[in-house]
Structure 1
Amino acid sequence: MPENSEIQNGPAARIGGAIARLLDFVAVVSSLVVAGLMVFLVIARYVLGLSVVGLHELIMLAAVALYMTGAVIASRKRDHLTVDWIAGNITDPRRKAAHDLLIATLTIIITIFFIVWAYWMFSWGLKRPQTTPAYQIPLWVPQMAIGLAAVGCFCYAVRDFIVALLKLRRS
């Protein structure tokens, strides 16, 4: 079994760190785009009296990216859909590991449904192509963000499953 320092500094940790930085970057950029375009929309409409066609489409694309990136970041940090009361009352390390394994297993099952649903939605969008009214952006673009979030959440659920399984074996 590798030592802790090898695990924390190994290639998996470096890849995980790069993915975390990329997710954080996408979240910051999409947040700035949503906020900036909303401010521009308000100023253009109510101060300048202009109606900018298609701005809502761009805001929607950035918002979908932000929401889906946020879901993956929450999964990465193990903050997504947690119930602290139950976990906080478990004191036995073996039961705690079993609880973590149960949560990870349920998350894997749910994210598999999420992946299948996102795939159906994405493939439907490719078979029956539709676009946004103003800029003709294919609807599969925001659907792709949903699919990537589904896969990302699944990968972090598998990570949590493996970690819980290792804790259970050690206790």
Structure 2
Amino acid sequence: MPETSDLKNGLAARIGEAIAGVLDLVAIASSLVVAGLMAFLVVARYLLGLSVVGLHELIMLAAVALYMTGAVIASRKRDHLTVDWIAGNITDPRRKAAHDLLIATLTIIITIFFIVWAYWMFSWGLKRPQTTPAYQIPLWVPQMAIGLAAVGCFCYALRDFIGALSRLRHS
């Protein structure tokens, strides 16, 4: 019979893979929307002489989703805030764990500021609702993507902090 920690690790891995899959799908979909709508905009304007009202709004929404999803994916892959020269020159496992703990701590602090800023921006958008000119899309929609990215980056920073702390304690 598997141990409880093995079951928890398996469940955590499956949840992590599901989240990674959703993030990848959002990144692919928003990339296709940005590229497709930009191509359509160029073709419509310069080859057909059409001006499609509001297309920039949709491109902006997809681009915000893409940028914020990219930030969370970078956090998931530990590709954010990396100084390769320093990390590459640390060979001692204990010092490497301490370095990773420092990076994770700084990332947590920064993402807390990011979460607070995103919350203020989102709540301001709800108190003073504004919409895009053509399609009347509430501005809190792209602001919500920023908030979700802030929370996602915080969660991955917390994961990195716990992992580095565990390695530091066991080295």
Equivalent in the alignment of 1:46: 46
- The answer on 1:95 being equivalent to 2:128 is no
Q: Percent identical across equivalent pairs? A: 89
The letter of the residue matching 1:148 is: L
Whole-angstrom distance in 2 between the partners of 1:151 and 1:17: 18
Runs of 4+ off more than 4 Å: none
- The answer on 1:146 being equivalent to 2:146 is yes
Q: Shift of the alpha carbon at 1:92? A: 1.0
Equivalent in the alignment of 1:72: 72
Whole-angstrom distance in 2 between the partners of 1:98 and 1:15: 27
Whole-angstrom distance in 2 between the partners of 1:93 and 1:17: 27
The letter of the residue matching 1:21 is: G
Equivalent in the alignment of 1:110: 110
Residue segments in structure 2 that go unaligned for 5+ positions in a row: none
Whole-angstrom distance in 2 between the partners of 1:47 and 1:97: 57
User: How many residues end up aligned between the 2 structures?
Assistant: 169
> Residues 36, 48 of structure 1: CA spacing in aligned structure 2 closer, same or farther, 3 A cutoff?
same
- Residues 41-96 of structure 1: per-residue CA shift (max 9 Å, x gap): 00100011000000000000000000000000000000012101111111111111
> Residues 132, 24 of structure 1: CA spacing in aligned structure 2 closer, same or farther, 3 A cutoff?
same
Judge conservation of contact 1:7–1:13 (CA < 8 Å) in 2.
no
> Residues 113, 7 of structure 1: CA spacing in aligned structure 2 closer, same or farther, 3 A cutoff?
farther
Whole-angstrom distance in 1 between the partners of 2:111 and 2:86: 22
The letter of the residue matching 1:111 is: T
The letter of the residue matching 2:95 is: R
The letter of the residue matching 2:90 is: I
TM-score (norm 2): 0.96
Q: How does 1:1-171 map to 2 (within 5 A)?
A: 6=6, 10-171=10-171
Whole-angstrom distance in 2 between the partners of 1:146 and 1:86: 30
The letter of the residue matching 1:74 is: A
SS, match of residue 138 in structure 2: coil
Whole-angstrom distance in 1 between the partners of 2:134 and 2:102: 47
SS, match of residue 138 in structure 1: coil
Whole-angstrom distance in 2 between the partners of 1:146 and 1:7: 33
SS, match of residue 154 in structure 1: helix
The letter of the residue matching 2:160 is: D
TM-score (norm 1): 0.96
